[in-house]
């Protein structure tokens, strides 16, 4: 049995919200039921991936709004929303609205950069401004300022009998700015996030520096430490910087023989990409962790990146069935979490 040096404080999970294009409603309902089950199992958070023009959730904000009305405690986040697809002002309005509906439980995770396969979609996404759009850090900084309630314009006040205008984004949700996360894959983005008052999401995909050995765990550890160093001296700090790790874990404690066989095939198909850096940027993938909860816990305690965090959002495999996800979540909450020193929240208990 593994022995933690410090207990895991927050346990979450991440889902892509996969659906059948012939019946997308069923897939979205499955995602909502999984979030509901997660709350009953005591998870601290549920996170949604953002997928455009794919068969996964394209509007996690809408799904979070629905989930907020079917849950009372579990935190809801995005990991991540790519801002290249978004208008920061409109997104700020939507996020604040859902955060208020959820009672302050929303954790928006963000990233910047040119949208994936931009040349194939820019004529529809930005037909008049595709060559002028700014996909740099400035885009997420603008969103953060708008969410914080900074002035949008000078015009405000009453016009006519009933029209009342504001000079900031409305509604305003106090505290939401402090719950903004940035999804990082490089040391540069980790330092930027820390210096600019964001929390850090570190996933199973990272980019090493040119002089670093291709050891995923060590590279992730160095990025987290660089983030914390930058956050400690940031003028934008709003309290202790939070860091969440998001590896793929597949506990098999209560899995059927058929499920174990399917899970093992999934891992074996994905393992080759983890053996060496990929592409011109040297992208690195973390191996999926499969086995009993005690076996996975041992691997996590040996993982340099995991040893830097006290909260996680374990990623659910992309292509499994609803019952598979329920089994995995039940084992994470009932066996893996406790093996990592975590205790489930009680139903009805408020999140800290």
Task: State the residue range of the domain holding 269.
Answer: 10-159+179-254+264-339
Q: Give 24's DSSP letter.
A: H
Residue 250 lies in a domain: yes
Q: What is the mean pLDDT of residues 65-93?
A: 98
User: Can you give the pLDDT at residue 222?
Assistant: 98
Q: What is the mean pLDDT of residues 131-157?
A: 97
User: Can you give the pLDDT at residue 3?
Assistant: 53
Whether 348 shows a pLDDT value over 60: the answer reads: no
Q: What CATH number does residue 220 fall under? A: 3.20.20.30
55 is written with which tokens? Answer: 């068969």
pLDDT digit string (tens) for 119-134?
A: 999 999 999 999 999 9
Within the chain, strands assigned E span 10-15, 45-48, 75-82, 106-111, 157-159, 163-165, 181-184, 199-202, 205-206, 243-245, 249-251, 284-285, 289-291, 311-315
- DSSP lists the bridge partners of residue 38 as none
Helices and strands, number each (H, E), in the chain: 11, 14
Residue 164 lies in a domain: no
User: Can you give the pLDDT at residue 6?
Assistant: 79
Residue 100 lies in a domain: yes
Measured at the alpha carbon of residue 7, what is the angle toward residues 5 and 11, in degrees to the nearest 5? 140
Residue 278 lies in a domain: yes
User: How many structural domains comprise the chain?
Assistant: 1
Whether 347 shows a pLDDT value over 60: the answer reads: no
Residue 1 lies in a domain: no
Residue 347 lies in a domain: no
Residue 5 lies in a domain: no
pLDDT-derived band at 89, boundaries 50, 70, 90? very high
Whether 25 shows a pLDDT value over 60: the answer reads: yes
Residue 166 lies in a domain: no
Phi and psi of 132, rounded to 5°?
-110, -15
**pTM value?**
0.95
Q: Report the alpha-carbon distance of residue 115 to residue 279 in Å, rounded.
A: 18
């Amino acid at each position: 049995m593994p022995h933690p040096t410090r207990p895991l404080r927050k346990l979450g999970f991440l889902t892509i919200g996969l659906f059948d294009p012939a019946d997308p409603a069923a897939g979205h309902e499955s995602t909502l039921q999984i979030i509901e089950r997660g709350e009953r199992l005591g998870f601290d958070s549920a996170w949604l991936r953002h997928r455009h023009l794919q068969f996964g959730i394209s509007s996690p904000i809408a799904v979070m709004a629905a989930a907020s009305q079917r849950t009372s405690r579990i935190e809801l986040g995005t990991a991540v929303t790519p801002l290249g697809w978004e208008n920061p002002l409109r997104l700020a309005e939507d996020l604040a609205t859902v955060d208020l509906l959820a009672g302050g439980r929303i954790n928006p995770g963000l990233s910047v950069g040119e949208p994936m396969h931009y040349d194939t979609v820019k004529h529809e996404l930005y037909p008049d401004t595709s060559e002028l759009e700014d996909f740099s850090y400035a885009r997420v900084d603008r969103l953060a300022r708008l969410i914080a309630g900074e002035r949008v314009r000078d015009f405000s006040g009453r016009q006519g009998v009933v029209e009342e205008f504001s000079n900031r984004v409305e509604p305003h949700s106090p505290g939401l700015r402090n719950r903004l996360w940035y999804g990082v894959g490089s040391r540069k983005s980790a330092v930027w996030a820390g210096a600019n008052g964001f929390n850090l999401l570190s996933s199973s995909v990272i980019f090493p520096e040119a002089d670093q050995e291709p050891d995923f765990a060590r590279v992730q550890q160095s990025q987290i430490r660089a983030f914390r160093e930058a956050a400690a001296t940031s003028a934008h700090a709003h309290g202790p910087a939070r860091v969440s790790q998001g590896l793929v874990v597949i506990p098999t404690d209560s899995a059927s023989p058929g499920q174990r066989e399917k899970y093992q095939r999934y891992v074996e198909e994905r393992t080759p990409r983890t053996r060496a850096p990929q592409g011109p940027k040297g992208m690195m993938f973390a191996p999926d962790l499969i086995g009993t909860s005690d076996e996975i816990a041992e691997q996590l305690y040996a993982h340099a990146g995991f040893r830097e965090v006290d909260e996680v959002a374990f990623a659910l495999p992309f292509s499994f069935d609803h019952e598979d996800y329920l089994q995995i979540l039940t084992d994470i909450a009932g066996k893996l979490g406790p093996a990592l020193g975590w205790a489930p929240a009680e139903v009805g208990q408020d999140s800290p």
